[in-house]
């Protein structure tokens, strides 16, 4: 049995190395048209359109590798062309840790580079053609590459003309029990005249997974102190927060069920740790509360620990909603009076679970300059966006990407069959 597993592992290793060599030979890392030193400086500001709208498209959980994103990249470009958002926001797990899973960790540094460049080159093309920038935060899987730090990854994103944002002092002092955060930042949106900031976007890094109890990292006190000061300095404008993982309070706000009332498996549960280090479990119903839009298909997975983020945001009084991903098949919108809404967005890629339920896609969020106390939002799925037998067949092909042989086979079939057919039929 061990011999068979060793041979299989060696086969995967040789295949991965061969594919990486192909990328090197074809210049995959250096061919990004908008990447490099000799590029015009990008615009430093965002503003509402003349019709008073500002649209954001949230892209979450791409779980991207260089070899898995053909249909995803087409989808992103089509969204830019048809929806004309003003900003794309990547909310973490942008990368897949397959390089580590396949036992080629020694190549993970190169894998990170080609993977980030592969989808950021698409955003550069979008920026070139439509002037739409992109920003990002990390997820828990982005931190699974031991040879490439958050800071190094951020520099790769920032090397692209389409990227908007910069590292700030927010993450200083976060080297403690949750690990070092990086890339937390703040963007301002000006009015349609381009004169006055009227809305804020806050992008928080959730930090690393905790190694001591297998819990997810959380937004930490130094980041919250930075938010409080920056928020005050910019006038406490109406705001959105984007991050990868939901706050722990989600288990108090859906449909809590007392442990003594749990009689079957029709509940989701999650383990938490209190400030004294004591473990406890919370339970919620698998059905959403009445009036809550969207779907609850899998267990909400917040940090076991917290440092008071949701309370701090609500005390500030100007945060309308927190948008997050992490749970690939949940799409609920928990709207709250007098507190920040909690809004889950699905997986936008095919490198992990979720696409088979037909919920894979993006979240579009639209603001109206004339009423910044509210917003409209909807999920745009691949299945709903692409009509016709040919596109639906291509979608089904990419829904099989979760295992290593299928990853390569799907890309090969797409290149030799679906792409030529789409060009011929002008679809």
Q: Which residues pair with 333 in a beta bridge?
A: 293, 343
Evaluate whether 325 touches 244 at the Cβ level (below 8 Å): yes
- For 144-192, the pLDDT digits (tens) are 777 788 899 999 999 999 999 988 988 888 776 667 888 999 999 999 9
Higher-pLDDT residue of 400, 307 = 307
Question: Which residues are paired to 46 by β-bridges?
Answer: 189
Tell the residue number behind the tokens 């909400």, with chain if given: 300
- Token pair in block for residue 26: 């074809």
Q: What is the four-CA torsion angle of 154, 157, 160, 163, rounded to 10 degrees?
A: -90
Per-residue confidence (pLDDT) for residue 343, from 0 to 100: 98
Contacts of residue 150, defined as CB under 8 A and 6 or more positions apart, other chains included, come to 138, 142, 143, 180, 181, 182, 183, 205
Lowest mean pLDDT among 50-64, 227-241, 383-397: 383-397
Residue with tokens 């989600």: 250
pLDDT of 40: 38
- In terms of phi and psi (left: phi > 0; alpha: psi -120 to 50; beta: otherwise), the region of 103 is left
Sign of the dihedral defined by the CA atoms of residues 405, 407, 408, 409, in that order: positive
Distance CA 410, CA 237 (A): 46
Q: pLDDT tens, 339-374?
A: 999 999 999 988 777 777 789 999 999 999 999 999
pLDDT digits (tens, 9 = 90+) for 272-300: 988 888 899 999 999 999 999 999 999 99
Radius of gyration from C-alpha coordinates of the chain: 21
| CATH of span 53-246+303-385 | 3.60.21.10
Could you tell me if 73 and 104 are in contact, meaning their C-beta atoms sit under 8 angstroms apart? no
Other beta carbons less than 10 A from residue 204's beta carbon: 30
Across the range 227-255, mean pLDDT stands at 96
C-alpha distances (whole Å) from 410 to each of 29, 71, 179, 375 are 22, 11, 37, 38
User: Domain boundaries in the chain?
Assistant: 53-246+303-385
CB atoms within 10 A of CB 99: 26
Does the structure show a pLDDT above 50 at 307?
Answer: yes
Contact 162, 124 (CB under 8 A): yes
Residue with tokens 């592992």: 9
Exposure class string for 331-368: b at 16+ Cβ within 10 A, else e: bbbbbeeebbbbbbbbbbbbbbebbebebbbbbbbebe
At residue 223, the 3 state secondary structure works out as helix
13/25 Cα distance (integer angstroms): 18
- Is there a contact between 77 and 106 (Cβ–Cβ < 8 Å)? no
* Maximum Cα interatomic distance, the chain, rounded to a whole number of Å: 68
Sheet holding 267-273, edge to edge: 256-257, 279-285, 267-273
Nearest alpha carbon to residue 382 among 413, 360, 410, 367:
360
Whole-model pTM? 0.89
Cα–Cα distance between 36 and 423 in angstroms, integer?
Answer: 30
């Amino acid at each position: 049995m061990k011999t068979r597993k060793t041979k299989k592992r060696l086969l995967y290793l040789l295949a991965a190395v061969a594919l990486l060599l192909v990328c090197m030979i074809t210049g995959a890392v250096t061919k990004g048209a908008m990447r490099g030193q000799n590029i015009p400086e990008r615009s430093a500001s965002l503003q509402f359109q003349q019709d008073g709208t500002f649209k954001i498209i949230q892209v979450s959980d791409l779980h991207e590798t260089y070899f898995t994103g053909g249909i995803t990249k087409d989808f992103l470009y089509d969204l830019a062309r048809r929806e004309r958002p003003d900003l794309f926001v990547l909310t973490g797990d942008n990368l897949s840790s397959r390089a580590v899973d396949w036992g080629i960790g020694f190549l993970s540094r190169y894998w990170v580079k080609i993977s980030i460049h592969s989808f950021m080159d698409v955003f550069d093309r979008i920026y070139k053609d439509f002037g739409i920038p992109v920003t990002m935060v990390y997820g828990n899987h982005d931190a699974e590459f031991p040879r490439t730090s958050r800071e190094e990854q951020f520099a790769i994103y920032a090397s692209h003309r389409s990227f908007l944002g910069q590292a700030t002092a927010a993450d200083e002092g976060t080297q403690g029990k949750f690990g070092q955060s990086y890339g937390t930042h703040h963007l301002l949106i000006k009015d349609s005249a381009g004169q006055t900031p009227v809305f804020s976007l806050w992008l928080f890094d959730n930090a690393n997974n905790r190694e001591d109890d297998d819990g997810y990292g959380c937004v930490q006190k130094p980041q919250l102190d930075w938010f409080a000061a920056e928020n005050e300095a910019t006038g406490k404008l109406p705001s959105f927060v984007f991050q990868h993982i939901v706050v722990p309070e989600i288990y108090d706000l859906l449909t809590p069920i007392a442990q003594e009332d749990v009689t079957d498996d029709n509940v989701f549960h999650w383990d938490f740790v209190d400030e004294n280090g004591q473990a406890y479990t919370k339970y919620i119903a698998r059905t959403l509360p009445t009036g809550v839009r969207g779907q609850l298909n899998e267990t909400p997975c917040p940090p076991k620990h917290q440092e008071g983020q949701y309370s701090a945001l609500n005390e500030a009084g100007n945060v309308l909603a927190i948008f997050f991903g992490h749970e690939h098949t949940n799409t609920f919108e928990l709207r709250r009076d007098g507190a920040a809404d909690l809004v889950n967005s699905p997986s936008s890629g095919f490198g992990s679970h979720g696409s088979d339920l037909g919920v894979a896609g993006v979240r579009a969020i639209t603001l109206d300059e004339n009423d910044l106390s509210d917003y409209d939002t909807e999920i745009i799925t691949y299945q709903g966006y692409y009509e016709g037998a040919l596109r639906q067949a291509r979608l089904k092909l990419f829904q099989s990407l979760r295992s290593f042989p299928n990853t390569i086979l799907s890309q090969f079939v797409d290149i030799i069959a679906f792409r030529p057919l789409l060009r011929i039929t002008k679809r």
